[in-house]
Amino acid sequence: MFANRHRRIQWISDLVRSSPSATYTLHRPFGVRQILTGNPNNVQHILKTRFDVYVKGDFSNTNLYDFLGNGIFNIDGENWKFQRQVSSHQFNTRTLRKFTETVVDTELFDRLIPILSKSAQDKTVLDFQDVLQRFAFDNICKISFGYDPNYLLPCFPQAKFACAFDDAAKMSARRFNYPVPNFWKVMKILNFGSERKLKIAVSEVREFAKKIVREKKLELEEKSEIDSVDLLSRFLISGHGDEAFVTDIVISFILAGRDTTSAALTWFFWLLSKNPNVEEEILKEIRGKTKSSVFDEVRDMVYTHASLCESMRLYPPVPVDSKAAESDDILPDGTVVKKGMRVSFVPYAMGRLESLWGKDWNKFRPERWLERGPVSGKWVFVPRDSNTFSVFQAGPRICLGREMAFLQMKKIVAEVVGRFRVVPAAEDGFDPVFTSSLTSRMEGGFPVKIEARTEE
């Protein structure tokens, strides 16, 4: 385990793929056992059938509590049900959807496109992963808080809140990976190493978030007419005014929205640069729409949708997710689970299983998600069930923002690919390394050159 610490996800994936049942029991130090699975039947069992048995648990809650508090991604039971119900109601409103579309359009046309145009003109190298993370961070802060951190600007500022948030996520993730369970607690008591850095980062994140919450409350109290539509305002307006509650839940939403779409798009644009045939098909689809693709048209871009799914199959934003067993159990493949064991499903491994995706699983082939309509002859998207394609989870915890994420990603792809080619800057080839903390990223960034397309 220690020898593979720098390729932990790849090593875990190798273990899962080496098993005939796609399930492996990992023996960790001090007699601790952890089950790793990529078996869709097991995933369904864990996330749906026995949902009440497989919970986030004390291990996960304790590790992430300093950062996420009692936010929706870190809790179980009635508290989770309440937050899920409240959040689901807010996510399903037409008002929030329209607000999100406006935010994305503003960030695209006022910031991202001008920065890419300037880079193409000046022939400069950009870290495209950093650009996408900044784009996503501005977006999710505006959608969640109604606050613009101005992180995606031509000068690429080091915004204090954004940097603290990044540090808090990275340092929190480290707690899961120590060979000795709970070793981080000793480091925390001693205020040493990564725990000292985490303490500083979390303090900055939470104090800033609380400040925004207080200011938003005052703003809403002073207004005669309520026109704020960000998530924080909607929670406060609907009567959920507890400062700790709204702070925790909004920090959780920022974590989800900040990293997942930027991670997915970073790998997508790299795969596109290696597969010009796919890029050409996407370009045809883009040019078949109106000049400035509205969101309703973007929704119908099935080849682009398939390409994004194919990219996330190979490089999922959350490559592994763990639950804790509340009682003894037996998985569908016969694996015995004891109370208290960690049981992890591994989307990164699942996307690499020949039994699920065929012998060409390692090929970036969007067509595996498509078939031709019998009458029109046009591409029709053929989804996989959420137990096989578990990138957005499944069951009661399935991602609330899934459709919103796809709309944003497809809009970004339509506007960027329609105008530019994103080309890896390395002249001798670029072989990126997949790594992760709480979410995945491309180690060392994604240096690119931007080339403006000529009108055809």
DSSP 5-22: GGGHHHHHHHHHHHSTTS
The answer as to whether 446 is a domain residue is no
Q: 63-109: per-residue pLDDT in tens?
A: 999 999 999 999 999 999 998 998 888 787 888 888 889 999 999 99
Which residues form the domain of 74? 2-433
Q: What is the mean pLDDT of the chain?
A: 92
Q: Which two three-digit tokens encode residue 274?
A: 């290696």
- Give the count of domains, the chain: 1
Pick out the residues of the known binding site.
399
Q: 260 near 400, Cβ under 8 Å?
A: no
Within a domain: 448: no
- Residue owning tokens 């137990």: 387
Q: Residue 291 and residue 103: Cα distance in Å, rounded?
A: 19
Annotated binding site for heme: 399
Instruction: Please name which of 158, 244, 171 lies closest in space to residue 201, comparing C-alpha atoms.
Output: 171
**Per the domain annotation, does 438 fall within a domain?**
no
Residue 121 lies in a domain: yes
Record the pTM.
0.94
- Please indicate, yes or no, if residue 428 is contained in any of the structural domains: yes
CATH number reported for the structural domain that contains residue 199 in this entry: 1.10.630.10
Q: Is 95 contained in some domain?
A: yes
State pLDDT tens for residues 387-410.
999 999 999 999 998 988 999 999
Cβ neighbour number for residue 312 with a 10 Å cutoff: 23
Does 439 map to a domain?
no
The H or E element that residue 216 is part of is helix 193-222
Q: How many CB atoms lie within 10 A of CB 152?
A: 23
In the prediction, which pLDDT does 178 show? 83
Domain-located, residue 441? no
Residue 59's CB is within 10 A of a number of other CB atoms, namely 17
Gyration radius from the chain CA atoms: 22
Q: Helices 302-314 and 276-287, interaxial angle, to 10°?
A: 150
Per-residue model confidence as pLDDT tens digits over 301-359 = 999 999 999 999 999 999 999 999 999 999 999 999 999 999 999 999 999 999 999 99
